[in-house]
Structure 1
Amino acid sequence: MRWRNPLRSLTLRLTLVYMALFYGSIGLMLGVSYFGGVWRPLQEVERRIQVESDEMVSVYARDGRDALIRALERRAATPRGRLPYHVLVARGGGVVAANLIDWPRVAGREWRRYEFGTYATGAEEEHEAVVRDVALAGGYRLIVGLDTEDLDEREDLILEALSWGLGMTLALGVIGGLVMTFAVAQRLESINRAARAVIAGDLSGRVALRGSGDDFDQLATTLNEMLSRIEQLVASISRVSDNIAHELRTPLTRLRAELEELADPATPSVEHHARTAAALEEAARLQSMFEALLRIARLQSGEQPALTTVNLRPLVEDAVEWHRPAAEARDQSLTLTSDPDVLVAGDRDLIFQMVSNLLDNALKFSPPGGRIEVAVAADASGPALVVRDNGPGIPHGERQRVFERFYRTRTEGVGGFGLGLSLVDAAAKRIGASIHLSDAEPGLQATVRFRPA
């Protein structure tokens, strides 16, 4: 198997797309979790600190430093859910009031997140907090904050899940994509091998099935059916070509012999008329053969005719009357029974051609004094045309082959090219009808099932 750029693989590209979508879904999920579990609670904490710090600033402005210290102590003694932190620093850096071990020594941004050391619970602990750093009149500096250790842990958990999730997704996605690409490439390569074999002229190759019933097995089954059909068609074309060569050899040889006799100055003039008639007869047979082949080819490759509603009874009556003189010349009985109106979907000319060919076959293969019965009726299976004769019939093993062009049963004394039933079969398929041959005991029964109108 030739190496191909992996990025040109549809499977790998789809894997990358799904990975991107999966990444996006993970990011969206963790983003929603972060928004609801960290960001919004932090906004609530900041709003609470804003209110409490503004209250402390008001106490200092109204009642002075000592009142502020008492207010900070009351706040520290009555926590509401989150541990409250505070530091009040004088102009020279001296601590006036605090429940923290350390804090930012240099004033910076007004709002910040900071990991403080505290003894608020009786032992030294490290806690993450959100604080507001406010400058007061007289050079004092007030830091007011609330504990956010739980939010910090939640944030770390979300970020850790994001990093691990994305990393594992990347690794598994790449491995899975490569494995899937390789597996799909193997299945596609088996299809490519079969296709290349067909291109090389070997129509016997088939795509291997794994028996899994998956999409590739279904595709392989369809392709194998197509290859079988192509093989049959090519074999049929080969047989038709051989048959055409065989069928043409005899009449062309006879025609050439007749023309050579006509061209010979020694040929008596009285023989010229007979020779000319024989040559014309052979030319007419050849013309008839090629016209039949051309009709079959047009039926098999032409566009689907526009179907109309056709009443079978008058059409079959016309065909029967057309063939009645030939039946009478052989002392044969030709009868028709029909329901009053049997409407089918079809093409009038094609149906007439089908009926004529079936009647012609029945007349040829029935013995002198024989009988041909034609019936038109509609039953539970739909409208049908039945033509029965009491001739030699067709052996069961040959009933499908008689639809092949130039195939003829071993019947003595019966002329023809072996194209009549091929023409009937091609016409039936064009209008969506079906033909079935069965034993009439004795003779043959041909049943044509039409689509109801």
Structure 2
Amino acid sequence: MIWRNPLRSLTLRLTLGYMAVFTVSVALMLGLTFVAGVWQPLRQVETTIRLQSDALVATYDARGRDALIRALEHRRAAAIGRMPYHVLIAPNGAVVAANLADWPQVRGPEWRRYEFGTYATGAEEEHEAVVRDLALKGGYRLLVGLDTEDLDEREDLIVEVLSWGAGMSLALGLLGGLVMTFAVSQRLESINRAARAVIAGDLSGRVALRGSGDDFDQLSATLNQMLERIEGLVASISRVSDNIAHELRTPLTRLRAELEELAGEDDPETIRARSGAALDEVGRLQSMFEALLRIARLESGPALPKEQVDLSALLEDAAELYAPAAEEKGQVMSSDIAPGLNIEGDPDLIFQMVSNLLDNAVKYAPNGGSLRLSAVRELGGVTVMVADDGPGVPAADRQRVFERFYRRNNDPNGFGLGLSLVAAAVERHGAKITLTDAEPGLRVTVRFPEAV
């Protein structure tokens, strides 16, 4: 597509634009060189010729032709630098004095640049000169000039450089633009192929990397990460949809049964009991949807406001909140929280996250077991750890526990959304969460970046 209409290529247009700027820059540079190296020296030569010719005319007017001839010869003999030229022609066309081999036979403009013949070295040579053509009293014609062969050569060189340089710049620039356009189009085409595959529904397509580490490789790597993220989200949505349908089937079935039983009951006590059971099912469904909505908002909502959070005080409050639940099961909760720990984030969300972790620890630790909550500052971050001595989680399942509705061995406790909420909250805060073996039990470690 690019080669059928090259001017639609941004790379080629940028190349052509750069070529235009480069060519104009070279032209301006050579133009300044021409002004400094040719034009200004020519103006100085004209000024010199004007002064000399005015003096010669004054000599002719005051002392006649012979004095003028002597002045011309003296001018030639005393010349230093540029070779002086002159021709004095009588009214009848006879040459009275000259050091040139040829000259314009017909008088034209007063000032001209002309290639004269001269015998300065004994043989005829062609030299460029600037000459002033004057008409004297009595019908005489006087041509006075100075050699400018060096300026002529310099001017020719500048023009030649400008012509060849501009031509070569345009040719090489165009060739380079086409090559770059082809190279860039190939890299862009690989991105387009991956994008078209995604549009067609194949989320497994990825942009090929060349390993060069250049801008295109970095862009391709970023796009691949984005595609992996999209693929994961789509897969997650599919799993969530299936899980929601599966999880809703049982409570809705129970709710329908309770309502059907309720419709046929006349006994007030039975009606109250079945109404309470129905309300419990509705409450469970409401809690499930609230948890799902909270997770969805965390995963796709706007950036969290950056607020300074006193993590030490927050963790102390969470430990105090769950201490009674642990005591009911005869569990021992210990805490080791360093003072003065500060992070940036949403304090309510962080409290919910820690509460979920403590709730799981209390739930799965055995009666008479132990719980541990600790927080320390290390390596520029803050690490929070919650551990229990319960059955733990096998290494193969430690990533799956963060999936929505995942419950090991169909555990009837909860909906399997607590750790999903924890994972979403951790990601929103730019933190990292890991699960390890507490030997026995499970150790959950969350590492937050420390507030600046």
Work out whether residues 380 and 449 of structure 2, in 8 Å CA contact, stay in contact via their aligned partners in 1. Answer: no
User: Unaligned 5+ residue runs, structure 1?
Assistant: none
Alpha-carbon distance between aligned partners in 2 of 1:375 and 1:95, rounded to the nearest angstrom: 116
Residue 210 of structure 2: aligned partner: 210
Return the match for 2:445 from 444, 447, 452. Answer: 447
Residue 162 of structure 1: aligned partner: 162
Shift, 1:151, TM fit: 1.6
TM value normalised by structure 2: 0.92
Shift, 1:277, TM fit: 3.4
User: Unaligned 5+ residue runs, structure 2?
Assistant: none
The 5 Å alignment of 1:378-397 reads: 378-379=377-378, 382-397=381-396
Count of residues paired in the alignment: 451
1:17 maps to a residue whose letter is G
Shift, 1:362, TM fit: 0.8
Residues 87-108 of structure 1 deviation map (CA, whole Å, 9 limit, x = unaligned): 1111121211112222111111
Alpha-carbon distance between aligned partners in 2 of 1:379 and 1:32, rounded to the nearest angstrom: 64
Residue 403 of structure 1: aligned partner: 402
The 5 Å alignment of 1:352-431 reads: 352-379=351-378, 382-410=381-409, 414-431=412-429
Residue 235 of structure 1: aligned partner: 235
Alpha-carbon distance between aligned partners in 1 of 2:377 and 2:38, rounded to the nearest angstrom: 79
Work out whether residues 2 and 185 of structure 2, in 8 Å CA contact, stay in contact via their aligned partners in 1. Answer: no
Q: Answer yes or no: is 1:53 the counterpart of 2:50.
A: no
Residues 378-404 of structure 1 deviation map (CA, whole Å, 9 limit, x = unaligned): 455544432211111111232222122
Work out whether residues 366 and 390 of structure 2, in 8 Å CA contact, stay in contact via their aligned partners in 1. Answer: yes
Residue 152 of structure 2: aligned partner: 152
Helix, strand or coil at the partner of 1:435: strand
Q: Structure 1 residues 263, 414: CA separation in 2 closer, same or farther (over 3 Å shift)?
A: closer
Helix, strand or coil at the partner of 1:101: strand
Residues 228-261 of structure 1 deviation map (CA, whole Å, 9 limit, x = unaligned): 1111111111111111111111221222222223
Q: Which range moves more in the overlay, 337-346 or 93-102?
A: 337-346
Q: CA RMSD in A?
A: 2.3
Alpha-carbon distance between aligned partners in 1 of 2:127 and 2:5, rounded to the nearest angstrom: 54
Q: Structure 1 residues 34, 404: CA separation in 2 closer, same or farther (over 3 Å shift)?
A: same
Q: Structure 1 residues 44, 413: CA separation in 2 closer, same or farther (over 3 Å shift)?
A: closer
Work out whether residues 364 and 414 of structure 1, in 8 Å CA contact, stay in contact via their aligned partners in 2. Answer: no
Helix, strand or coil at the partner of 1:211: coil
Return the match for 2:436 from 435, 438, 443. Answer: 438
The 5 Å alignment of 1:34-433 reads: 34-264=34-264, 271-379=270-378, 382-410=381-409, 414-433=412-431
Alpha-carbon distance between aligned partners in 2 of 1:290 and 1:340, rounded to the nearest angstrom: 37
Work out whether residues 307 and 431 of structure 1, in 8 Å CA contact, stay in contact via their aligned partners in 2. Answer: no
1:211 maps to a residue whose letter is G
Shift, 1:419, TM fit: 0.7
Work out whether residues 209 and 220 of structure 1, in 8 Å CA contact, stay in contact via their aligned partners in 2. Answer: yes
Work out whether residues 298 and 425 of structure 2, in 8 Å CA contact, stay in contact via their aligned partners in 1. Answer: yes
Residues 358-382 of structure 1 deviation map (CA, whole Å, 9 limit, x = unaligned): 1111121112222222234445554
Work out whether residues 365 and 414 of structure 1, in 8 Å CA contact, stay in contact via their aligned partners in 2. Answer: no
TM value normalised by structure 1: 0.92
Residues 260-307 of structure 1 deviation map (CA, whole Å, 9 limit, x = unaligned): 233346x97765444333322222211111111112122223333434
Helix, strand or coil at the partner of 1:144: strand
